[in-house]
Amino acid sequence: MTEAKNRPIRWAMVGGGRGSQIGSIHRSAALRDNTFELVAGAFDIDAARGRAFGVDLGLDPVRSYPDYVSMFAAEAERPDGIEAVSIATPNNTHFAICKAALEHDLHVICEKPLCFTVAEAEELKALSQARGRIVGVTYGYAGHQMIEQARAMVRNGDLGEIRIVNLQFAHGFHSAAVEEQNPSTRWRVDPKFAGPSYVLGDVGTHPLYLSEVILPHLTIKRLMCARQSFVKSRAPLEDNAVTLMEYDNGAIANIWSSAVNAGSMHGQKVRIVGSKASIEWWDERPNQLSFEIQGEPVRILERGMDYLYPQARIDDRIGGGHPEGLFEAWANLYRRFGLAISGTRGLAPEGLEDLVFPGVDAGLEGVRWVENCVRSADAGGIWVDYR
């Protein structure tokens, strides 16, 4: 792995305050490789709690702000003001915060879903292009090295022609109405905060993005979706959904999105079936990729080994055998965001043109997929054209 050569990017966070689910991994990932330096933040919906938390993180107290509006305004006046911001707030705020950040010429790393509608996502894309700024979206599992191996295997024809794509992200943590006690789950099942879907956007878009990385040559032509609220109080939002998708080359895919898969810890799987062989990856054992050639014994490929394609070794920090996990995957992703941002500053490192990271198009596609799934499901589970 190439260690960072340039000075760290001056970085802030909106949301991700004390006790939040996802704030800590953003900070761990961004700070891991000295790519970013945390210099400001508006961490919490409760201004006083957010400011205190920023001070506890070691920020200059004047740069721990009560809200993002005052942070963007004050930082724009400073010669050493922030250059990038991560947004780790509930879904309903992403569009407004992302837009305000781009209008202040900041690079943005936004949580998924990027926003609620394709029209909003198109607006953010146009704004990011007009301002020459990166929008990254934290589909964190894409930072696992074996995802790069899977992408290279498909590109090199190791599986033959791709026929079937079998995806799921189906955990069991919300099998009962845990939202009655847990505020992090409560907003997820309220359309005012979560948007038009619960599990489709919350979990289903993760394997969807992995399939886009591994199979960049496939384009969804149409889909059909059925969604259910097994915990009745969650209606109209679903806690389980099944989506069937056809690609324009005749291949077929399905995604099972669920929070009520009782007993399952995470349950995110990607299985790609080709005419000669299949590969399978589970996020609970991310350092292994199963390679199954028809008529031969199954091979388990291991992270960090010489037999992998070079693309799967770019992010290797320590060599094979040492287990890596989600925190390393996120750090790899933040490193790529940093490289993409540096590229726009005229400091492009070698290989920038090959950099694979979830940018604004990935955010847009996630929103498009959810929008189409909801459209299909709410019309009774009919086929809908994708574009």
182 is an interface residue for ligand NAD by CB under 6 A: no
One residue of 33, 44, 239, 365 binding ligand NAD per CB under 6 A: 44
Continuous H helices in the chain: 23-32, 47-56, 68-76, 94-103, 118-131, 145-155, 183-186, 191-194, 199, 205-214, 326-344, 360-378
290 binds ligand NAD (CB under 6 A): no
Q: Binding of ligand NAD at residue 29 (CB under 6 A)?
A: no
Q: Concatenated DSSP letters for 26-48? A: HHHHHHHTTSEEEEEEE--SSHH
Does 294 interact with ligand NAD (rule: CB under 6 A)? no
Q: Are 221 and 133 in contact (CB under 8 A)?
A: no
Nearer to ligand NAD, 170 or 301 (CB): 170
Say whether residue 151 binds ligand NAD (CB under 6 A). no
Query: Which one, of 73, 78, 90, 69, lies nearest residue 15 by Cα?
Result: 90
| Closer residue to ligand NAD in complex, CB, 195/304 | 195
* CA atoms in the 13 A half-sphere facing the CB of 151: 23
Q: How far is the CB of 262 from ligand NAD (least distance, A)?
A: 20
Amino acid at 22: I
Beta strands in 235-315 (DSSP E): 240-247, 252-258, 268-274, 277-282, 288-293, 299-302
Q: Does 96 bind ligand NAD (CB under 6 A)?
A: no
Q: Which stretch binds ligand NAD (CB under 6 A): 17-25, 162-170, 214-222, 280-288?
A: 17-25
- For ligand NAD, the closer of residues 211 and 278 by Cβ is 211
CB of 7 to ligand NAD, least distance (A): 27
Segment interacting with ligand NAD (CB under 6 A) among 15-23, 161-169, 223-231, 283-291: 15-23
Interface positions, 306-325, toward ligand NAD (CB under 6 A): none
Which one, of 43, 33, 34, lies nearest residue 13 by Cα? 43
Query: Out of 22, 177, 178, 305, which residue is the one contacting ligand NAD (CB under 6 A)?
Result: 22
Pick from 35, 64, 86, 91: which binds ligand NAD (CB under 6 A)?
91
By DSSP bridging, strand 299-302 and strand 288-293 are antiparallel
Query: Least distance (Å) from ligand NAD to the CB of residue 339?
Result: 20
Number of residues that bind ligand NAD (CB under 6 A): 23
By the rule CB under 6 A, 363 interacts with ligand NAD? no
User: Which region among 1-9, 87-95, 119-127, 358-366 touches ligand NAD (by CB under 6 A)?
Assistant: 87-95
Q: How far is the CB of 329 from ligand NAD (least distance, A)?
A: 10
Cα angle 241, 326, 263 (rounded to 5 degrees) comes to: 45
Choose which of 11, 65, 68, 198 interacts with ligand NAD (CB under 6 A): 68
Q: Give the dihedral sign, CA 83/9/334/126.
A: positive
195-254 residues near ligand NAD, rule: CB under 6 A:
202
How many CB atoms are located within 10 Å of the residue 238 CB?
26
Is 164 a binding residue for ligand NAD by CB under 6 A? The answer is: no
Nearest approach, Cβ of 332 to ligand NAD (angstroms)? 14
* 286 is a site residue for ligand NAD (CB under 6 A): no
For residues 343 and 352, the answer to whether their CB atoms sit within 8 Å is yes
Neighbour-count burial for 149-180, b at 16+ CB within 10 Å, e otherwise: bbbbbbeeebbeebbebbbbbbbbebbebebe
Instruction: Answer yes or no whether residue 62 interacts with ligand NAD by CB under 6 A.
Output: no
- Tell me the closest approach of the beta carbon of residue 46 to ligand NAD, in angstroms: 6
Does residue 11 belong to the site contacting ligand NAD (CB under 6 A)? no
User: Does the footprint of ligand NAD cover residue 184 (CB under 6 A)?
Assistant: yes
Q: Distance of CA 235 to CAs 46, 358, 367, Å?
A: 29, 31, 20
Asked if 111 interacts with ligand NAD (CB under 6 A), we say: yes
Closest approach, Cβ 224 to ligand NAD, in A, equals 25
Name the token pair of 66.
């009560």
Q: How far is CA 280 from CA 32, 91, 117, 150, 277, in A?
A: 29, 31, 32, 9, 10
User: Interface residues with ligand NAD (CB under 6 A)?
Assistant: 14-17, 20-22, 42-45, 68, 88-91, 93, 111-112, 138, 140, 184, 202
